[in-house]
Chains A and B, each alone.
Chain A
Amino acid sequence: MEGWKVLLVDDEKEFVSTLAERLRLRGIQADETGSGEEALRLIALTAPQVVVLDVMMPGMGGLEVLQRVKSTYPNIEVILLTGIGSTKDGMEGMRLGAFDFLMKPLQIEELIEKIKAAIEKAAGGNA
Chain B
Amino acid sequence: MDLKESVRKIVGGLLEIPEEGTSPERYRILRRNITVLMLLITIIPLVLMAAINYYQYQTALKDEIVAPLRVLVNKSKHSFELFLAGRLSTINFIASAYTYEELANEKNLSRIFRVLKKEIEGIVDVGLIDSDGKQVSYAGPYELKGKNYSDQGWFEQVKVAGVYISDVFMGYRRFPHIVMAVRHFSESGDWWIVRVTIDTARFDDLIASMGLDPKSDAFLINREGICQTGSRFYCKILDKCPISVPPLSYEPNVVRIKDSQGQDVLMTYAYFNRGDFILMLLKPSGEVLRAWYTLKSELLLVFLVSIAIIVLVVLRLTGLLVDRMKQSDDRRELALREIEHSHKLSSIGRLAAGVAHEVNNPLAIINEKAGLMKDLVEFAQDFGDKEVFLAPIRSIIQSVERCRAITHRLLGFARRMDVEIEILDVNELIKEVLGFLEKEALYRNIKIGLYLAHDLPRLASDRGQLQQVFLNILNNAFAAVQDGGTVSVTTWEKDIDTLGITFQDNGQGMSEETLRHVFEPFFTTKKGHGTGLGLSITYGIVKRLGGDIEVQSRPAKGTRFTVFLPKKIKEGSGN
Contact = CB atoms under 8 A, between A and B. Distances in A.
A12 B364 contact: yes
A70 B278 CA distance: 141
Contact of B420 (A14, A18, A84, A88): A88
A90 B281 CA distance: 121
Given A18-B365, A106-B367, A85 B372 contact: no
A26 B400 CA distance: 22
A15 B361 CA distance: 8
A21 interface: yes
A25 interface: yes
A85 B356 contact: yes
A22 B356 contact: no
Contacts of B356: 83-85
B134 interface: no
B24 to A, nearest CB: 48
Nearest to B376: A25
Interface in B349-371: 356-357, 360-361, 363-369, 371
A105 interface: yes
Contacts of A84: 356-357, 360, 404, 407-408, 411
A15 B404 CA distance: 16
A104 interface: yes
A105 B364 contact: yes
B563 to A, nearest CB: 25
Contact of A15 (B357, B368, B422): B368
B357 A83 contact: yes
A116 to B, nearest CB: 17
A104 B364 contact: yes
Nearest to B406: A84
Interface string A1-37: 0000000000010110011011001100000000000
Which of the four size classes fits the interface of chain A? 10 to 19
B415 interface: yes
B411 A22 contact: no
A82 to B, nearest CB: 10
A83 to B, nearest CB: 5
Interface string A49-93: 000000000000000000000000000000000011101100000
Interface string B392-427: 000000001000100110011001000010100000
A44 interface: no
A108 B378 CA distance: 14
B375 interface: yes
Contacts of A25: 372, 375-376, 379
A104 B408 CA distance: 11
Interface residues on B, range: 20 to 34
Contact of A85 (B364, B368, B376, B415): B415
Interface string A37-55: 0000000000000000000
A12 B361 contact: yes
Given A83-B360, A85-B356, A22 B404 contact: no
A126 to B, nearest CB: 30
B262 to A, nearest CB: 104
Contacts of B366: 105
A22 B420 contact: no
Interface in A92-127: 104-106, 108
Nearest to A82: B360
A77 to B, nearest CB: 22
Contacts of B361: 12, 15, 104
Name which of A15, A21, A105 has the most chain B CB atoms within 10 A of its CB. A105
B408 A85 contact: yes
Contacts of B411: 84-85
Contacts of B365: 12, 14-15, 18
Contacts of A85: 356, 407-408, 411-412, 415
Interface in B209-252: none
A22 B357 contact: no
Contact of B369 (A14, A26, A83): A14
A22 B364 contact: no
Contacts of B415: 85
A105 B379 contact: no
Given A19-B368, A25-B372, 12 more contacts: A12-B365, A15-B364, A18-B365, A26-B375, A83-B356, A84-B356, A84-B360, A84-B411, A88-B420, A105-B364, A105-B368, A105-B404
12 contacts: A12-B365, A15-B364, A15-B368, A18-B365, A18-B368, A18-B369, A22-B372, A26-B375, A84-B360, A85-B411, A85-B415, A108-B371
